[in-house]
């Protein structure tokens, strides 16, 4: 009977280890998924930045063409001022887009690290649970084969028998 109990404890301990390892794998998959999703977001921000640069360049080209078609130098005076303002606004928007990409990547790394940490903790918990189950089984096995827990009755021979 005791052998069966110890065997069941060993199987239960293995189950705890396996559960911890499975949870770690699950969290590692979540971390990988998070990395992919955040990289996709970062690429979207970078794409926005490229679109901003294209619009800025198109606006500058239009300002240059309009100035030259009006017979004015496109790189002096008010035509230059229009280009400078367009560049400033476009540059700010471009910087915001790149900042968004950087932020997405950083947040993804943080979240992925949290998932990986949770996986390590889950695996460690599985091992500790297994150790606890094996220790409990060992304690049960050692107490089952030992001396009885109630002491034998003691007879007091120090008092004389009545005659």
The Cα–Cα gap between 115 and 120 comes to 9
The CATH class of the 2-141 domain is mainly alpha
Range of 8-17, 22-31, 136-145 with top mean pLDDT: 22-31
Task: List pLDDT tens digits, range 75-134.
Answer: 888 889 999 999 999 999 999 999 999 999 999 999 999 999 999 999 999 999 999 998
Residue of 9 and 43 predicted with greater confidence: 43
Give the Cβ contact number of residue 15 at 10 Å: 14
Q: What pLDDT was estimated at residue 159?
A: 66
Mean pLDDT throughout 18-35? Answer: 96
Confidence of residue 151 (pLDDT cuts 50, 70, 90): low
Confidence of residue 57 (pLDDT cuts 50, 70, 90): very high
Q: What pLDDT was estimated at residue 2?
A: 77
DSSP secondary-structure letter at 6? H
Q: What is the DSSP string of 23-85?
A: HHHHHHHHHHHHHHHHHHHHHHHHHHHHHHHHHHHHHHHHHHHHHHHTTS-TTSHHHHHHHHH
Structure tokens at 158: 């120090």
Confidence of residue 5 (pLDDT cuts 50, 70, 90): confident
Tell me which residue has tokens 């794409």: 47
């Amino acid at each position: 009977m005791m052998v069966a109990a110890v065997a069941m404890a060993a199987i239960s301990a293995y189950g705890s280890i396996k559960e911890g390892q499975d949870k770690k794998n699950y969290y590692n998959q979540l971390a990988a998924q998070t990395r992919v999703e955040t990289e996709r977001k970062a690429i979207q921000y970078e794409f926005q930045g490229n679109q901003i640069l294209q619009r800025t360049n198109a606006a500058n080209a239009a300002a240059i063409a309009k100035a030259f078609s009006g017979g004015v130098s496109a790189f002096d005076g008010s035509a230059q001022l229009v280009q400078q303002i367009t560049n400033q606004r476009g540059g700010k928007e471009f910087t915001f887009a790149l900042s968004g990409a950087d932020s997405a990547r950083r947040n993804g790394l943080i979240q992925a690290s949290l998932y990986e940490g949770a996986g390590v903790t889950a695996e460690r918990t599985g091992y500790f649970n297994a150790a606890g189950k094996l220790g409990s089984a060992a304690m049960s096995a050692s107490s089952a084969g030992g001396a009885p827990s109630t002491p034998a009755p003691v007879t007091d021979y120090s008092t004389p028998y009545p005659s």
